[in-house]
């Protein structure tokens, strides 16, 4: 264990910028500003790691330092296992993380193999070296609320009130994401320290003294079409029904309490103070009580839905738990992916991101300006970038995330490459994305839940995605198992391409950033979604079964 | 449905030989001489298919006809789903077949998705377009017995007697494989028509009238060190114990009755005639009786082992069934992969194969000659090729299989490419392999059973194999799930590279045929096997964890 920080500036520590990009992004994932537990090589998401162990980390960096421009390093679950001669168009690094044969794809076997030192949990962007800190969560949440706005509220949340629960690590992005979309948010958490923390970090605006106070603040702001986020201290299983009963004018309801783990959800009959003692005394009884409270909360959510509100599950599994506790109508409202994200995926839209390898925030400022100029008609982008500039504190290498689609990503990438070539940027840029993207993931409990044609569990698509990115000039490509929702539940792929300003990199960027979102377009066309048809038409995406 | 046969000759039906190779090998997989049920697009191995349905087949061939030399077709479980611009070094086709997310990786879900028209079973070389008929089985069996000879009998089976069961589709290769290695085989089958068929096809030499007769024939041939294969009509569960009791001088024992499916194994209390009626009347009772008989047979096998014979399970799961029936010592003898094949895998050796795209048997004759000249010190190769020339009847495009290792495959491939360039061969050659290869499969019930380090279920390796072949210039690359041992039980990858005589193809061939077996070398080094160390030393295979 030792502190790791990415190299900055223009001096190379490797034989070329493609290799340097991989080296710096690996290092950056372990920067104490970026990683949750850098000493254990854990980047984020439970135990999502960037390298299997410190000996592997040293071998990775040592190998990258001498890797030639026509060689490729192979990484098996965070450990470098080979160096092979390939060619200039080939990736410099190929990674496979946490993959298990189906019948063995469970946490027990995984932990056994991990104990033996044979694997590591790669999560999504941890083991594929393109995590950029909490900006990703903020932007994903922003994009979800933007999609809610587009679908239901004429493109803005101005004049609406959102009710949600949970102000934790992920859920804490909700108030800011709502206000960035122009709306008012009432956010309920049982833990006063969480509310205080979000206010301190300027993710949450104010705390209300009471429910009545919260409604008063909310309606005033809503009527003035003024963004405002309001924290409410209380148990969501009590507050949600109370607000419903009071007839509070709520337009949108969701929840990000940690309902996926019943021991991390406070039941009505317990207080913050006895939470830990109670669940240790009787974990089974505590979990049952938590589920029963979730049922009460979900029943209130369905009540809001029946009263006309837009209601959705935000990926914390609260519907399943509520149903298990006996509330039969728990699945009355949809999950957020089928409801809002899938139409974006169908157009090849997803969490595009890039990092300035120079370490210079001015490089990100210049790219921000460039994308704003390139896509004047992309409204959510036009709203997001200035807000991000104002609110997002860089962690590690300066980086930016924004959702771009097919026909946009390649344009942005080529522009960045030109800016490197012309010196507008001081050093190359690493361009990648989350694995939670349009054509790169099979995950029947989340990204591919309830696919129109029933193809939720088909995993050919992320594998084709990895293969085609490898064949298109990506700088590194990864295939992972179990990210986001756990071992046995997902297969997904990542890619990063380094825009180093060379003509070759320009071609690589063009192909990768076309073909990668292209997988999302063809995957959704194949499943019968129509949102991508306009993209197919406009850009001439080729669908062999349609050609005659 | 219509008869399909590969184009022959030198005239192109596509824009280049790389595409033409893919087209012809797809067609060849469905040639009635090659495929088991061509009308249903089934090539071999249960329902292993080459294309999802006829509309998909038409779209595949149509797309290949116009595919450019810098474009790539994407195939999702036998259906073409995309055409993307890549580059000259990229594969022309990328395939993913039958892949499912872990928790859904079972036959029920697979069949449901297959019914919906969303997937197909790709087996190994069916969905990846490099099946070449029964030569593969013959050679694999030959190679296994050659490995037995090397490990235990000074490199030849001359002077030894092998006892085995089953003369079916696969098992029927055993008598010929033993005699090709110089030995004597006694082969037991309950079905007289199977014995007659193998004699007709010259895979089996004679049928004995009785057990005594069989022993007499066998010992005479053994003492004269003369190869001979002898069929015995009878139930293996009766014959094996009888021979043990008689003190028959058996040196090697194995079995390829269809024990993997208890309804396809005849129990002692039933006859051939009432087999079908009995299992339909009471499948559960029949299966229990079959298992009990298997236990009797396996007990005799263990008896032979205790008496000093070399005994192994030939991948039909008979040990598991015998153990389930109550024979506790069933796992006294090993599976054939850990016992004989893994040391070959550790050296990058595996079922290398190539097909003459010309359709001209003279091209295979020329390549046979070339490999014999290239590897004078490879004894099993020197024995195999002349025997294959004599005994193997080509099915579809003339093809050859032989096991070559790291440092050999690339040499053979480059030589073939030179022969295409010089006109020694009349047209290009497609060079591939089975997915059952040294570094391309994770299959804990077969290829990766009982790995030294416990890494049986780790599936990163076949995925890295597919990625690195994609990055090295293979013409098509595939990732499959469930081949050989069924859905949920394996993940494996295939590659084919077309040697078209161009300088570029020469470089591709060199890289692919180095890196592909290279995966086998590094995978086994990583797992603690030492058989590959000499290869690492001789060729300078790079292992990052060892470099300082
Ligand atoms: N689908 C997605 O993409 C996605 C993304 C992020 C998070 N999630 C899910 O959202 C949930 C929240 O994630 P997190 O990282 O913020 O978790 P976290 O544990 O950091 O925060 C959970 C918060 O909920 C509060 N809480 C617990 N019980 C409560 C109750 N009864 N009433 C009110 N507040 C209560 C806790 O005090 C805590 O502040 C998780 O279930 C996670 O899996 C899903
Ligand atoms: N591990 C491998 O690579 C590998 C390769 C090939 C086959 N196999 C296994 O080998 C087995 C045989 O495959 P196949 O394709 O030849 O099957 P098959 O069904 O074509 O042939 C099985 C033969 O066994 C005979 N038989 C059944 N019960 C018998 C009994 N009690 N005594 C004597 N003979 C009996 C049948 O008459 C038949 O001829 C299968 O279980 C298969 O899975 C494994």
Per-residue pLDDT reduced to its tens digit, A244-259: 999 999 999 999 999 9
- The rounded distance, in Å, linking the Cα atoms of A408 and A539 is 11
Query: What residue's CA is closest to ligand 2, atom 31?
Result: B266
Q: What integer pLDDT is reported at residue B48 of this predicted model?
A: 95
Residue B60 has which token pair? 């595949």
- Dihedral-angle region of residue A47 (phi above 0 means left; psi in -120 to 50 means alpha; beta otherwise): alpha
Taking the CA of residue B293 as reference, the ligand 2 atom at the shortest distance is 31
> Which residue in the set A106, A454, A468 is minimally distant from B84, CB to CB?
A468
ipTM reported for the complex surpasses 0.90: yes
Residue B297 main-chain phi, psi, to 5 deg: -65, -45
Give yes or no for residue A163 having a pLDDT over 90.
yes
A3 confidence band (pLDDT: 50, 70, 90):
very high
CB contact under 8 A, A543 and B81: yes
Residues in B closer than 8 angstroms to A516, CB to CB, are: none
pLDDT given at position A134 = 87
Name the residue among A97, A442, A464 with its Cβ closest to that of B460: A97
Name the DSSP class of A38: G
Parallel, antiparallel or unpaired: strands B48-49 and B42-44: antiparallel
Mean pLDDT of B286-291: 96
Q: What percent of chain A has pLDDT over 70?
A: 100
Q: CA A269, CA A263: separation in Å to the nearest integer?
A: 14
pLDDT (tens digit per residue) in A513-546: 999 999 999 999 999 999 999 999 999 999 999 9
CB-count exposure of residue B548 (10 Å: 0-12, 13-18, 19+): exposed
> From CA A78, how far away is CA A323, in angstroms rounded?
39
Tokens of residue B544, six digits:
């990052």
Which tokens is B104 given? 């859904």
pLDDT tens across B180-193, in order?
A: 999 999 999 999 99
Q: Check pocket membership of B446 for ligand 2, CB cut-off 6 A.
A: yes
Mean pLDDT across the stretch B435-455? 96
Query: Residue B166 CA: which ligand is closest?
Result: 2
Per-residue burial over A303-320, b if 16 or more Cβ lie within 10 Å, else e, is bbbeeebbbbbbbbbbbb
Taking each continuous run of H as one helix and of E as one strand, the counts in chain A are: 19, 17
Question: Residues B13-30: pLDDT tens digits?
Answer: 999 999 999 999 999 999
| A226-230, A357-361, B381-385: least confidently modelled range | B381-385
Residue A145 has pLDDT above 90, yes or no: yes
Q: Is the pLDDT of residue A147 over 90?
A: yes
List residues near ligand 1 (CB under 6 A). A 165-171, 188-191, 194, 235-237, 256-260, 264-266, 314-316, 446
For ligand 2, say whether the CB of B236 is within 6 Å of any of its atoms.
Answer: yes
- Chain A CB contacts of B63 under 8 Å are 544, 547
CA–CA distance, B400 with B130 (Å, rounded to integer): 11
**In percent, how much of chain B has pLDDT > 90?**
94
The dotted CATH code for A135-326 is 3.40.50.10730
Q: What pLDDT sits at residue A380?
A: 84
Q: For residues B66 and B11, what is the distance between their CA atoms, to the nearest angstrom? A: 15
Helices in A201-317 by DSSP H: which ranges? Answer: 211-223, 236-245, 275-281, 283-306
∠ CA A9-A13-A19, nearest 5°, is: 100
CA distances from B535 to A12, B299, B344, B348, B382 (A): 34, 39, 11, 9, 21
Contacts of B59 in chain A (CB under 8 A): 544-545, 547
pLDDT category of residue B481 using cuts at 50, 70 and 90: very high
Contact criterion met (CB below 8 Å) for B106 and B488: yes
Please give the pLDDT value at position A201.
Answer: 87
Where along chain B do its domains lie? Answer: 135-142+152-326, 341-546
CA distance A516 to A306: 40
pLDDT at B290: 97
pLDDT one-digit tens code per residue, B197-242: 999 989 999 999 999 999 999 999 999 999 999 999 999 999 999 9
Strands, E assignment, A45-105: 48-49, 71-76, 79-85, 93-97
| Cβ partners under 8 Å of residue A30, min gap 6 | A4, A38, A41, A43, A50, A51, A57
Q: How far apart are CA B63 and CA A218, in angstroms?
A: 58
Name residue A492's beta-bridge partners. A441, A480
User: How far are the Cα atoms of A120, B156, B330, B340 from residue B307, in angstroms, in the given order?
Assistant: 45, 21, 16, 20
Q: Which residue of A has its CA nearest to B536?
A: A82
Strands A93-97 and A491-499: unpaired
Please state the rounded mean pLDDT for residues A53-66. Answer: 98
Q: Which two tokens stand for residue B296?
A: 């009797």
> Which residue has 């098996």 as its token pair?
A76
Residue B132: which of B519, B434, B536, B440 has the closest Cα?
B434
Confirm whether B402 is a catalytic residue: yes
Residue A460: is its pLDDT beyond 90? yes
Distance CA B375, CA B412 (A): 9
* CB-based contact B461:B523 (threshold 8 Å): yes
Q: Do strands A206-207 and A228-233 pair parallel, antiparallel, or not at all (unpaired)? A: parallel
**Structure tokens belonging to residue A355:** 């990092």
pLDDT grade, residue A1 (50/70/90)? confident
With 0-12 CB in 10 A as exposed, 13-18 as middle and 19+ as buried, what is B519?
buried
CA distance B442 to chain A (A): 7
Given this model, what pLDDT does residue A260 score?
86
What is the C-alpha separation between A236 and A217, in angstroms, rounded? 19
**pLDDT tens column, B519-542:** 999 999 999 999 999 999 999 999
Q: CB B468 to CB A72 under 8 A?
A: yes
pLDDT at residue B45, rounded to an integer = 86
The region of weakest confidence among A19-33, A530-544, B379-393 is B379-393
Among the partner residues A90, A119, A544, nearest to B83 by beta-carbon distance: A544
Whole-angstrom distance, CA of residue A525 vs CA of residue A506 = 28
Q: Report how far ligand 1's centroid is from the alpha carbon of A355 (Å).
A: 28
The pLDDT value recorded for residue B183 is 98
pLDDT, mean of residues A371-399: 94
Q: How far is CA A279 from CA A188, A232, A275, A318, B437, in A?
A: 22, 24, 6, 19, 51
CATH: 3.40.50.2300, 3.40.50.1220, 3.40.1770.10, 3.40.50.720. Which one for B341-546? 3.40.1770.10
Chains A, B: CB contacts within 8 A come to: 290
Superfamily of domain B135-142+152-326: Urocanase like domains (3.40.50.10730)
Q: What is the DSSP letter of B447?
A: T
Over residues B72-95, the mean pLDDT reads 98
Q: Report the candidate in A16, A10, A57, A64 with the shortest Cα–Cα distance to residue A38.
A: A57
A94 to B467: CB separation less than 8 angstroms, yes or no: yes
Closest by Cβ to A102, choosing from B73, B102, B522: B102
Give the number of other Cβ atoms within 10 Å of residue A465's Cβ: 33
The answer to whether the CB of A130 falls within 8 A of the CB of B487 is no
Question: What whole-number distance in Å separates Cα of residue B21 and Cα of residue A181?
Answer: 54
Q: What is the mean pLDDT of chain A?
A: 96
Q: How far apart are alpha carbons B125 and B371 in whole angstroms? A: 23
Answer whether A161's CB lies under 8 Å from A218's CB: yes
Are A547 and B63 in contact by the 8 Å Cβ rule? The answer is yes
Helix or strand (DSSP H, E) at B285? helix B283-306
Question: Mind listing the pLDDT tens digit for each residue in B314-344?
Answer: 988 899 999 999 999 999 999 999 999 999 9
Q: How far is the CA of B23 from the centre of ligand 1 (A)?
A: 52
- Provide the 8-state DSSP code for A132: -
Inter-axis angle of helices A283-306 and A236-245, nearest 10: 20
What element of type H or E holds B49? Answer: strand B48-49
Show Cβ contacts of residue A65 under 8 Å, excluding neighbours closer than 6 positions.
Answer: A13, A14, A19, A23
């Amino acid at each position: 264990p030792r502190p790791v920080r990415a190299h900055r500036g223009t001096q190379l520590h490797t034989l070329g910028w493609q290799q340097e990009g991989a080296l710096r992004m690996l290092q950056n994932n372990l920067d104490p500003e970026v990683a949750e537990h850098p000493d254990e090589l854990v980047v984020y998401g439970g135990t999502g790691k960037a390298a299997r162990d410190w000996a592997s980390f040293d071998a990775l960096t040592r190998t990258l330092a001498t890797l030639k421009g026509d060689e490729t390093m192979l990484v098996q679950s965070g450990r470098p296992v080979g160096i092979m001669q390939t060619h200039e168009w080939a990736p410099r690094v190929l990674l496979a993380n946490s993959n298990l044969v189906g019948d063995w794809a469970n946490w027990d076997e995984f932990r056994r193999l991990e104990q033996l030192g044979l694997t590591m949990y790669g999560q999504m962007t941890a083991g594929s070296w393109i995590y950029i800190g909490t900006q990703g969560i903020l932007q994903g949440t922003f994009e979800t609320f933007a999609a809610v706005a587009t679908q239901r509220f004429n493109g803005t949340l101005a004049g609406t009130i959102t009710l949600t629960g949970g102000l934790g690590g992920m859920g804490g992005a909700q108030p800011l994401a709502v206000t960035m979309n122009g709306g008012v948010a009432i956010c309920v958490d049982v833990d006063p320290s969480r509310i205080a923390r979000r206010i301190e970090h300027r993710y949450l605006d104010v705390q209300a003294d009471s429910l009545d106070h919260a409604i008063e603040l909310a309606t005033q702001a809503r009527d003035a079409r003024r963004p405002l986020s309001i924290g409410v201290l209380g148990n969501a299983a009590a507050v949600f029904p109370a607000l419903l009963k009071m007839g509070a004018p709520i337009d949108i309801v969701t929840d990000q309490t940690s309902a996926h783990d019943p021991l991390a959800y406070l039941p009505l009959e317990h207080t913050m103070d006895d939470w830990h003692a109670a669940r240790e005394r009787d974990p089974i009884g505590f979990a049952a009580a938590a589920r029963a409270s979730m049922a009460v909360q979900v029943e209130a959510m369905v009540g809001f839905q029946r009263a006309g509100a837009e209601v959705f599950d935000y990926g914390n599994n609260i519907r399943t738990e509520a149903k298990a506790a006996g509330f039969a109508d728990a699945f009355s409202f949809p999950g957020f992916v089928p409801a809002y994200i899938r139409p974006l995926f169908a157009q090849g839209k997803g969490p595009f991101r890039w990092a300035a390898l120079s370490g210079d925030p001015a490089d990100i400022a210049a790219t921000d300006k460039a994308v704003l100029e390139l896509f004047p008609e992309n409204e959510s982008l036009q709203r997001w970038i200035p807000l991000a500039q104002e609110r997002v504190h860089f962690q590690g290498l300066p980086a930016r995330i924004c959702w771009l689609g097919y026909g946009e990503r390649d344009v942005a990438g080529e522009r960045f490459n030109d800016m490197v070539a012309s010196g507008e940027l001081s050093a190359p840029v690493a361009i990648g994305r989350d694995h939670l993207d349009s054509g790169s993931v099979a995950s029947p409990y989340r990204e591919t839940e309830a696919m129109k044609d029933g193809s939720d569990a088909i995993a050919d698509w992320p594998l084709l995605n990895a293969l085609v990115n490898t064949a298109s000039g990506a700088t590194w490509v990864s295939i992972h198992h179990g990210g986001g929702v756990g071992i046995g539940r997902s297969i997904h792929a990542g890619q990063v391409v380094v825009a180093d300003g060379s003509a070759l990199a320009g071609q690589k960027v063009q192909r990768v950033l076309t073909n990668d979102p292209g997988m999302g377009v063809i995957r959704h066309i194949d499943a019968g979604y129509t949102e991508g048809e306009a993209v197919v038409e406009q850009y001439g995406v080729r669908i062999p079964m349609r050609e005659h």
